[in-house]
Amino acid sequence: MDIRERVLRARGARPRDAGELAGWCSAFLGMDVPGAVCEGHDGPMDYLAHSFFSDYGGGRGDCVVWANRGGGKTQLAAAATFLDSIFKRGCETRILGGSLEQSRRMYEYMMGFLDGGGCGLGFGAKAGRRRCEFGNGSNVEVLTQSARNVRGRHVQKLRCDEVELFDADVLAAAGFVPQSRGGVSGAMEIFSTMHEPYGLMREVVEKAGASGVRVFKWCLWEVIEKCEGRNCSRCALWCDCGGKAKRGGGYYRIDDAIAAMGRSSRAGWESEMLCLRPSLDNAVFGNFDEAVHVREVGYDAGLPLYRAIDFGFVNPFVCLWVQVDGDGVVRVIGEYARSKATAAVNGEEVKRLGPCGEGQVAGTFCDPAGAGVNDVSGTSAVKELRAMGIVCKWRASAITEGVEMIRRALRDGRGVSKLVISPKCARLIEAMRCYHYPSGRHSEVPLKDGVYDHAIDALRYFFVNWNGGGGKVRAVRY
């Protein structure tokens, strides 16, 4: 007796393993959920099994799903919601999308499973436009994208769809929603494509990895239909597929994939469909490559030492330590960043953390705004540092001027890199990846977001002062 026959004979019995769950979905939901194809990837079935069995000794239920456009994320989440509702008595689920339309889409998928017969297990469910009550005490409700609507709610399951479109405050508030009750564990599930290197989904994936939350990742090849009877050498997908579609078992039409490839840029295709990396279309330093530009590099007593400072209080004060070798390679060997500290406190830390004494520092380059007199203190940041023996210099420059100098150091016209950053400079490395232009409008000036711009500003001040650029460098004098 095969799995399908077994589940048909026991439609109300809870699936006991991933095989039975797959058969159950095929028999009663009309979904053939595929497995993994690419090395290192998961299959949609891996996610569904994790979600369903986490309440039966399967470990922590929280998870993140990073998948391609059209990868079935919303429908799978709807299937997981339906399974929870009928097999886990009293399970309350909330659906929160990047927009109300996105939330309703998941809810409508779930209602489709119920309206399609629901395998006779709806228990007399009563459904409205945004809420469904099951006869066994379970319920599902759509939430709107607002922190006020999310706060104060406590249910077992929260599914957040297209989190890349979320407001960060709403996502933060949503983290307090899930609570275990009635034998059903609290779990928050997050779904999205990773569109941008500075987006919310990137932060979610990185935090998940650091905290042990399971991340499921799949791409087009996990959900594409099985390729049969096509000539690979003549197929537009071959350079990326390499025969993977021959092992496909999904629903995404091959012809649709070919059409999508033709309509998109290479960067968009790799980001949206292959999940190789976020799109760099809006990144300021799209040619920054950690494999090239990040490596162990320390203080060399035989080279001049420079410091570059961006002042801040609520936003961070940032200091970079920089050396330049005989080949003209700029080496960022250390960083310091701190918020809500006075200039005096930051100055002491800069002196303490430096690899040499003040007498060996060839120059300290800073934000010209630091010379401005504070209306409250009656002094300036550069004056306070000067009193501590830290002499600052600066040269006025446009943001675009410094950005172009950094770009040229990353890769000049011959393709040669003249910039290397120590892995100790985590904040600067993240900023190099994530510093971006404003979304939705054309601008030559990068976004001042208060997150990634400060470390980049400090690096700019080094380049515009060290390179000179034909302008006048000023030193503070009193």
Q: What is the mean pLDDT of the chain?
A: 87
User: Is residue 167's pLDDT more than 70?
Assistant: yes
Fold of 290-475: Nucleotidyltransferase; domain 5 (3.30.420)
Please tell me the predicted confidence (pLDDT) of residue 478.
29
d(CA 316, CA 314): 6
Residue 415 has pLDDT above 90, yes or no: no
Residue 223 binned pLDDT confidence (cut-offs 50, 70, 90): very high
pLDDT tens digit string along 305-321?
A: 999 999 988 889 999 99
Q: Residue 323: which pLDDT band, with cuts at 50, 70 and 90?
A: very high
Is the pLDDT at 477 greater than 50? The verdict is no
pLDDT for the residue 192: 93
Q: What does the block give as tokens for 423? A: 């892995």
What is the percent of the chain with per-residue pLDDT over 90, rounded to a whole number? 54
Instruction: Decide: 321 and 335 in contact? Cβ < 8 Å.
Output: yes
**pLDDT tens-digit map of 117-160:** 555 555 667 888 899 999 889 999 999 888 888 887 899 999 99
pLDDT of residue 244: 93
Q: What is the pLDDT of residues 272-313, one digit of tens each?
A: 899 987 766 678 888 898 999 999 999 999 999 999 999 988
Residue 87 banded pLDDT, cuts 50, 70, 90: very high
Higher pLDDT, 30 or 320: 320
pLDDT score at 3: 54
Residue 10 has φ and ψ, to the nearest 5°, of -140, 65
Res 5 pLDDT > 60 = no
75 pLDDT exceeds 90? Answer: yes
Please tell me the predicted confidence (pLDDT) of residue 95: 95
Which one is predicted more confidently, 208 or 447? 208
Q: Which of 14-28, 155-169, 273-287 has the lowest mean pLDDT?
A: 273-287
**Average pLDDT of 329-348?**
94
pLDDT band at 10 (very low <50, low <70, confident <90, very high): low
pLDDT-based confidence at 58, cuts 50/70/90?
low
Tokens of 37: 């194809």
Average pLDDT over residues 65-86: 94
Check pLDDT > 80 for residue 428: yes
Range with the lowest mean pLDDT among 10-19, 228-237, 276-285, 328-337? 276-285
pTM strictly above 0.85: no
Average pLDDT over residues 111-119: 72
Percent of the chain with pLDDT over 70: 90
Domain pair 3-222 / 290-475, same fold: no
CB 394 within 8 A of CB 365: yes
Q: Per-residue pLDDT tens for 173-212?
A: 999 999 999 999 999 999 998 877 778 898 899 899 888 8
Other Cβ atoms less than 10 A from the Cβ of 44: the count is 25
What is the rounded distance in angstroms from the CA atom of residue 123 to the CA atom of residue 364? 72
What are the residue boundaries of the structural domains of the chain, listed by start?
Answer: 3-222, 290-475
To the question of domain 3-222 being in CATH 3.40.50.300, the answer is: yes
Question: In which region does residue 427 sit, left (phi positive, over 0), alpha (psi from -120 to 50) or beta (all else)?
Answer: alpha
pLDDT confidence of residue 475: 42
Are the C-beta atoms of residues 315 and 452 closer than 8 Å to each other?
A: no
